[in-house]
Structure 1
């Protein structure tokens, strides 16, 4: 909007307007004070003159009674010492002039103004002379009257001095106010700039924040629409940033974000937009002169550049990033959908193994809609008890005795049939649904384990997987104790399996929760051991009873992978921990594990995941046979495995 030159010419700065307001306020207050001071001084002078008139009237009683003019004049002559008295006139009872005193230097009109008529007409709100009359009375008889005229010159002098003081004080106040306003204006200006900076900029990385990102994206899409050009939006998310933040400290995490911001600036062109829109999430906008080929190349460069080591606290730290991007208007013509498409592509990049760049495809929308539908229906299934629990048995590697079973959740959709846990569990883990799902599995597994252990001497424990969200939830230990108490399952027969990545996501909270659970008598197991880069260095920090070797290390046995599995078993035994091998599928693997002194095995070879009734059948079979002793050096599990019921 254009402003008129005349208005600009007469437009005063805000501080000038405020200063004028201060001056007007001071002027009004000064006038009020002057009026008040004038009234106070005039009243005080009037009271003094009235008192003097009364005293003189008493002193003139005798002379007035005998008509002694000389004595009267002598009494009035004492007024020479009173500077504010101009004249004093004594009148007879008939109103005739008896004696008059006048101060030297008065004009005739001034000396004759002290009449009885003027004595009653002196205005209060005036700086004119004051007229005061007092009767001369003796024993109730009026002998005459005295009229005193007092000048207000002294009052005027005092008011002039007071006014000069007010003017000086006001000018000083205006000067001080101008200084204060100037400084306040400077501070407000700095504060406004700071607020404007904070409103649109991330202070840590000095990149535009989420608000500025959306404003700029909207502007660029508008330009691209007008010029029939393209804009590419890329969402960048750091993989496992929380692990760096928790293991190396928040200072290292902040330093990493700064280095990532610098790396993104170096990858894109100067006119491209790089923003930080979340904790470890960045956005890059290319265009409005972008193309899908350029967007694909830039996304690839971003993924490669962020996969290099970053120097944090003097050492190299490898932090990868996943990138998802979408192109306007090819993928969509709406800003909200463009952001949603880039997020969908980012989710796809993370699900494909991270550290890659994925461009949006139309079929991804259907996948995202399916994930949303699966999440909603899974939530309903949890609330309505529509899931099932199956159990995969775990056997002692040497004696072949059944030691426990791992609880695994299964879901049979009413219309789609069985849905793989590999699909619905990650969906639950990406929302708060994993907490309620994990709670349901925990309570159900404790109830079933109490059932199969009822009336039996040999305890068969149940292993339950715990998510990171559950472990970090407030009151999780109390929740576990409640499940044990209500089901009647001894705490020693419950084993909670936690993955190393979950614990590394928040070391302090994870270890504290584990210590509380162990104090309650619950067994703890470290699942998928060996898949994390810090397993060995942090093993002694975790208060666990056993470790479970990840199936990726068991699969190559016995033709490969022996050194690392042997090292894990030896190391675990040196810490006094049991070793569980999962994913055992072939007799050769089982034989090698027995010879390597593995403690417990679990897999399709020894038993598929099965229902509670099938597991109860195995437990009764064990009781009937009484097979609790080790027979020879070779494990008796191999013949048992051939007869193990399957789900």
Structure 2
């Protein structure tokens, strides 16, 4: 349990709690105030609960029921104070309050009910509770069939003993109890103790001035204070009641149940109503103790299982993997496969962790099938899995799993695709698990660097490449963190976009390069993955955008044509709700027209429906900044993107353009027909031969880029070879409506 303010608004509750302590101290010193204070405390608490419900609006009916319960108990206290004795009307008010308290308990149990599980643990829990209930019931029946005048007292006292044990068991076994829950539990505990003390004295209420009235004042105030804390909104929610502590900790909650028989016997002795056979209490105690021992043994086994297994997938965890590795026979050799899912973080970020967990369970099933009975599958955490198997089976398992990933995973109404990078390592006779994991990790990163979706076996030469990537990873953080280390600089290259039939330049795409002091000019493939893994995409986008806009302003000042330049944006930048304001502010500072900046988003970066990207791109489009959909044909190829975002240009990926066989020709033609219908332009990437250009033109494609026209150029080269020989007479994209007349 946690007990502390979770928001600043909980301060009122803590002040009231301090005031309650002061009131209790005063009542200890002034017995004459106890009787009047009991009714006042109950009335005040009813008002506090009403105030808490109005302020925090909980969804549970338990709080109004608590207010009604306290109202009845406050009425009984007022009647005792006014009449000076315990009247039948006051007792009736107490019984009415306890009936409502039963309703509160039932409502809480129903709201926190978990699905029925047919496990030994659940069965033993039910048997223990049934035995305790049977013992209390037998005590009540025995007292009722005798001539004892204290039947009500022994019945109430026995029930109170059982309730106290159940309350302690509940408090110990739950782990998501907030401050409001804790206050309610303490108040309930004190209320039961108060009721028990009154019952063993043969009464339903404390007489005026009795010390137990202090308990009544305190527990009533605690119920009201609990309603003031913000955590009261979820105090009776299903999540609160169903989150349990580990089995080993929950075992402590069984101890009060073992004491119930002794408590029942004590209640009977005090009230003078011990009517059960002498052997009944010891027998019940022995049965409950035996059941608790069985329950404890089963709980410990469950705890040991959880210690070696992943709670989500049920696969072995790191501890279970250690044990399996130590026990694995080495006669035929041993291999380890380290599997890292590609783009899994994007699924979590886009669709939430619930969808991510469901996807992990589907992929677990595929991994278990791929592994078969010849190996052990484990999950290290996150999206990393491990398989221990025999060396000759390692490539087979890797290929089976990678092959299974080619089929999309269906989670609800979502169709998700993911890949994996696999590194394998063979164990020597004296290899440790840590060494094997290190070797497999090196191979896995090599597979990921090679493009992912493949398996590579470790060899020592890979260490140098991993070390190089580690150094580059550190340097890319320094590069984008504007640190003073000599790690080179980023440079922008401009690849011309052309009108196919004339070859006239109508704009350019900005492509980033890294001029490294040791490795020379690095292409994006060499460092963009490092930028992403270091969560620096937003910083890189900002640097590129700033450099491009500054260069556009320089070309304008030189009197060169103002052709648009497109800049690629990553998913992280699009998730920034302030992106539109910053882009428009940067254009305004440099006095650049919005038409000179075009932004490219990619299909690979799937954006959730609640992403700010739709609003951001809508604002930029309205201001005149055009949006391209890059890599079309290789990502999700979602028509939803064309509906959600103000796309003006589809950029056909080079993988679609380069082959242009019969199948691809029909595909490009169909895409072009769709673009005409949607009033979109198409620009083909990766054009390398005149034949490709001519075939694209025959299909109706008007624009393109590629090595046939120009490689990416420095700013000076682009100004000399492209801007100096063109003009602004070819608008791109064309005005709405014109592109459809082809």
TM over 0.5: yes
Q: Tell whether the 8 Å contact from 1:217 to 1:285 is kept in structure 2 after alignment.
A: no
Q: Deviation of residue 578 (structure 1)?
A: 1.7
> Quick one: distance in 2 between partners of 1:495 and 1:405?
10
1:291 paired to 2:390: yes
Instruction: Tell me the equivalent position of 2:245.
Output: 191
Q: Partner residue of 1:546? A: 649
Q: Deviations over 1:144-200 (max 9, x none)?
A: xxxxxxxxxxxxxxxxxxxxxxxx999997994576236634763673418758776
1:431 aligned partner: 534
- How far the C-alpha of 1:381 sits from its partner, in A, is 3.8
Distance 2:476 2:622 in 1: 34
Distance in 1 of aligned mates of 2:321 and 2:681: 56
Q: Separation in 2 of the partners of 1:270 and 1:594?
A: 56
SS at match of 1:501: coil
**What is the rounded CA distance, in whole Å, between the counterparts of 1:558 and 1:620 in structure 2?**
35
Alignment of 1:481-560 (within 5 A): 481-504=584-607, 508-536=611-639, 538-557=641-660
Deviations 1:339-377 (A, max 9, x none): 343333333334445443333222222221111112222
Contact 1:558 1:592 in 2 (8 A): no
State TM-score, norm by structure 2: 0.53
Residue 493 of structure 1 and its aligned partner are, at CA, apart by 0.8
SS at 2:538 equivalent: helix
Deviations 1:506-555 (A, max 9, x none): 77344344224324432111111111243445433331121111122222
Specify the alignment match of 1:325 in structure 2: 424
Aligned mates of 2:403, 2:685 — CA distance in 1: 34
**Alpha-carbon spacing, 1:172–1:526, altered in 2? closer, same or farther (3 Å):** closer
- Counterpart of 1:339 (choices 419, 437, 443) is 437
Determine helix, strand or coil for the equivalent of 1:390. Answer: strand
Q: CA separation of 1:479/1:320 partners in 2, compared to 1, >3 Å: closer, same or farther?
A: same
Give the alignment partner of residue 402 of structure 1, picking from 490, 505, 509.
Answer: 505
Q: CA separation in 2, counterparts of 1:418 and 1:587?
A: 29
Cα distance in 1 between the residues matched to 2:600 and 2:161: 70
Instruction: Tell me the distance in 1 between the aligned counterparts of 2:364 and 2:662.
Output: 46
Aligned position for 1:366:
464
Q: Shift of the alpha carbon at 1:494?
A: 0.6
Q: Distance in 2 between matches of 1:627 and 1:486?
A: 23
2:313 corresponding residue in structure 1: 205
CA contact (8 A) 1:492 1:522 kept: yes
CA contact (8 A) 2:443 2:457 kept: yes
SS state at 1:438 partner: helix
Residue 402 of structure 2 corresponds to 303
Could you give the per-residue CA deviations for residues 93-131 of structure 1, whole angstroms, max 9, x where no partner exists? xxxxxxxxxxxxxxxxxxxxxxxxxxxxxxxxxxxxxxx
The residue that corresponds to 1:219 in the other structure is: 323
When residues 621 and 520 of structure 1 are mapped into structure 2, their CA distance, relative to the original with a 3 A threshold, is closer
Q: Which residue of 1 aligns with 2:563?
A: 460
- What SS does structure 2 have at the residue aligned with 1:524? strand
CA distance in 2, matches of 1:544, 1:370: 39
Residue of 432, 442, 454 corresponding to 2:545 = 442
| In structure 2, C-alpha distance between the alignment counterparts of 1:305 and 1:416, rounded to whole Å | 38
Q: 1:576 to 1:217 in 2, by over 3 A?
A: same
* Structure 1 or 2: more helix by fraction: 2
Q: Which residue of 2 aligns with 1:348?
A: 446
> 1:66-99: CA deviations, max 9, x gaps?
xxxxxxxxxxxxxxxxxxxxxxxxxxxxxxxxxx
CA contact (8 A) 1:307 1:355 kept: no
Q: 1:181 aligns with which of 152, 165, 172?
A: 165
Higher strand proportion: 1
Aligned residues: 455
| Structure 2 unaligned regions, length at least 5 | 1-27, 32-151, 174-243, 250-302, 732-742
Q: TM-score, normalised by structure 1?
A: 0.60
The 3 A distance-change label for structure 1 pair 186 and 529 is: closer
Q: Is the alpha carbon distance of 1:186 and 1:524 closer, same or farther for their aligned partners in structure 2, counting shifts above 3 Å? A: closer
Q: CA deviation at 1:480?
A: 2.3
The verdict on how the C-alpha distance between 1:231 and 1:560 changes in structure 2, with shifts beyond 3 A counting, is closer
Residues 308-366 of structure 1: per-residue CA shift (max 9 Å, x gap): 45454489766544433334447x94544433433333333344454433332222222
Q: CA deviation at 1:482?
A: 3.7
Mapped to 2, the partners of 1:345 and 1:589 lie a distance apart of: 38
Backbone CA RMSD of aligned residues? 4.1
Contact 1:558–1:589 under 8 Å retained in 2: no
- What is the rounded CA distance, in whole Å, between the counterparts of 2:333 and 2:170 in structure 1? 43
Residue 398 of structure 1 deviates from its aligned partner by 4.5
Q: For the residues of structure 1 that align with 2:169 and 2:562, how far apart are their CA atoms? A: 78
Please tell me whether Structure 1 or Structure 2 has the larger radius of gyration of its CA atoms: 1
Query: For the structure 1 residues 554 and 368, does the alpha-carbon distance in structure 2 shift closer, same or farther, using more than 3 Å as the test?
Result: same
Structure 2 distance, partners of 1:481, 1:275, is: 50
- 1:77-116 equivalences in 2 (<5 Å): none
CA distance 1:523–1:353, change in 2 (3 Å): same
